[in-house]
Chains A and B, each alone.
Chain A
């Protein structure tokens, strides 16, 4: 086995610990303090959380409200392709779809971003030049996050250098579940630094964190460490984005802004396939965190097949009848 990294370089890359914002400056002063803080957050009653999303799921969004919700959802999509088989051609075709999701209808808004692996960020950047659509790249040894910190940071810098406007990192779930919260925190801080001007989305991979208590703790950890967005999942693990998880994350960003004044975005990703799912998420955003989050700056939907269903429903609203899968482009 050859070690390409020397340990001195690795040490040099660990920055001094960044302080979280007031009033939480001292919570990361030690492992014990940070653990006490995260474990001291109010618990989440899973039955209650599920009941709450159950009721919100009965909201009936019709006519003008539905039209607004569909357009808003389209504008929030991070159109994603994260396959080993991705090619520049595939990414260009996705970029074309991102600019004009419905080629027959110029009133259809573009999506928020195209999300790809770091090596293809350059291709996406070029294809999206001048559109205002962001390029998001997954990094930090996505999806498992199992690599040394130096490799993860190099991954981030590479993606940024390739033109990524947004970096979707994964947290070290192993460390989190083992209770090494400060390690996870330090890593998010380091990645944030490596991002430079790029926005940082922190993927919690809630399907591996399992409990809603963990989701709340990981959300706070990511926000304290400077994440611009918290994101549910990689899409590679099931369950991915669920409504109870999204509820807890919306509560977290709402409470975090109330306490620190800093607003953090939320991105559920994976498993959102239908317009109904998307609208349920928007209702959740609206009623839990409030309308301040109802914009692509603060809420994203990480998805691939969702966009086509949104387009079909949009056509249905406009024309009064359902077309079919041949009336929207395959990705």
Chain B
């Protein structure tokens, strides 16, 4: 009997999901060929090609928007709100019934650990549909003004970090408020959106209510710039968000943007240290750090710096990096070669700028895109790793001495999406949270999401809110989001 407790491989079976060799666009309730050159989507953990996916051109997008307009005018718009709710409930239940299929497919296409896709992404996606299904026939009482009306056709572009969950964040409120949708999933992670299209058919959702057009940036641009789109919703990088804001400026289109972040996770010396360390780990290594609200800047009070860092390093040493489909994996693969290159570049810049880089001893698979959990100490607020969004498993540690300094450093960023406060003192939580310029402030926890809670940013993290009552306003005519 050895002395070590080695967890035997516990892979989730792939057999539950059938990945087709190729996928078309989902237009007007049917899968059709795209007009552009198809692209390959790969498993980032192995670089194995999973499937070939159609590229939607401007003409395809136009067909999609026309289908959505037709469905809006003829079916979905005039439908009794309670009936719209029924469809959403049906979709939510189907997501639950097919949860394992979605989870496995998400982990295959995205590289995230099955534990997260199974326990976070898919259940939350279903929860968003359940939540918004309930709103469908109660919008008059949502406090958003009398008789709120849908906008029409929503053009939605979503990122690759939470493919199904971001789809749910966009599609559920749009449909619940009576809009129809043209959705463009990210080019590296289109598969769960296409499986969702199948669910729409299974739920007998009227054709044209949800249209899914796959492709890269050009396809996304065609969706955003289409004249007959009434509402644009985008989640992704600040750079693209800025381009979208320019494209939409001066048009009648309503716009919500959920962009980057560089969240401060502030640990005071009276924090529950063990749970704070968990929160730091959850904040930055959840989903390989591919989280716009990731707690990528740790602000730790100087008096507990050494203790926290020692504890954090010990904890990071126990993270299990590897096969995303293994049920015991904590950190999976980086989503793409491109993203891996960016993480490497910024990490090397961190070293060049004089910060101290620490990585645990961990074996990374030979194929696929991998980056070990990384902690930078001795980081100055002037370093790029303290300012730029890395969007990877890289934590920058800064210190502070007083609450004022903590607030000043936390707010010293062009972003303002989220923040975390760790202290056992309730009054301090409230006082600090009040002064943080961030859309979400978590207290003694991090990266918690719920459909009832609005989510969105300050400054270059975007505008508009998703989720909760506030999120409905973004899809309703004349509604005031306050």
Q: Which residues of A contact B (CB under 8 A)?
A: 42-45, 47-49, 51-52, 55, 58-66, 68-69, 71-72, 251, 282-283, 286-287, 291, 294-295
Contact = CB atoms under 8 A, between A and B. Distances in A.
Given A43-B272, A58-B115, A51 B278 contact: yes
A45 B5 contact: no
B5 A294 contact: yes
Contact of A62 (B5, B8, B424): B8
B275 A49 contact: yes
B444 A68 contact: no
A62 B273 CA distance: 32
A43 B5 contact: no
8 contacts: A43-B424, A44-B275, A52-B275, A62-B10, A282-B5, A287-B318, A294-B3, A294-B4
B327 to A, nearest CB: 4
A51 B272 CA distance: 14
B85 interface: no
A59 B444 contact: no
B402 to A, nearest CB: 20
Contacts of B4: 291, 294
Interface string B1-17: 11111111110000000
Contact of A65 (B6, B119, B424): B6
Given A42-B271, A66-B8, 12 more contacts: A43-B270, A44-B272, A48-B279, A59-B7, A60-B10, A63-B8, A64-B8, A65-B7, A251-B274, A282-B5, A286-B5, A291-B4
Shortest Cβ-Cβ A-B pairs, 7 listed = A48-B275, A60-B10, A60-B327, A45-B272, A45-B275, A65-B8, A42-B273
Nearest to B271: A42
A47 B445 contact: yes
Contacts of A51: 278, 445
B328 interface: yes
A48 B444 contact: yes
Contacts of B119: 58
A60 B10 CA distance: 6
Contacts of B2: 68
Interface in B269-304: 270-275, 278-279
B444 A47 contact: yes
Contacts of B328: 59-60
B7 A48 contact: no
B3 to A, nearest CB: 6
A63 B273 CA distance: 35
A65 B327 CA distance: 14
A283 B272 CA distance: 22
A143 B413 CA distance: 58
A233 B158 CA distance: 51
Contacts of B445: 47-48, 51
A42 B115 contact: no
Interface in B108-155: 115, 119
Contacts of A286: 5
Given A42-B274, A43-B424, A47-B445, A58 B327 contact: yes
A251 B444 CA distance: 18
A69 B275 contact: no
Contacts of B270: 42-43
Contacts of B5: 65, 68-69, 72, 282-283, 286, 291, 294
Contacts of A66: 8
A51 B275 CA distance: 9
Interface in B320-347: 327-328
Nearest to B424: A43
Interface string B444-466: 11000000000000000000000
A65 B8 CA distance: 5
A16 to B, nearest CB: 33
Contacts of A47: 444-445
Contacts of B275: 44-45, 48-49, 52
Nearest to A42: B273
Interface in B224-244: none
A47 B448 CA distance: 12
Contact of B1 (A44, A45, A71): A71
Contacts of B318: 287
Contacts of A291: 3-5
Most interface-central of B6, B275, B424 (chain A CB within 10 A): B275
Nearest to A55: B115
A257 to B, nearest CB: 12
A265 to B, nearest CB: 16
Contacts of B8: 61-66
A294 B278 CA distance: 22
B7 A44 contact: no
Contacts of A45: 272, 275, 424, 444
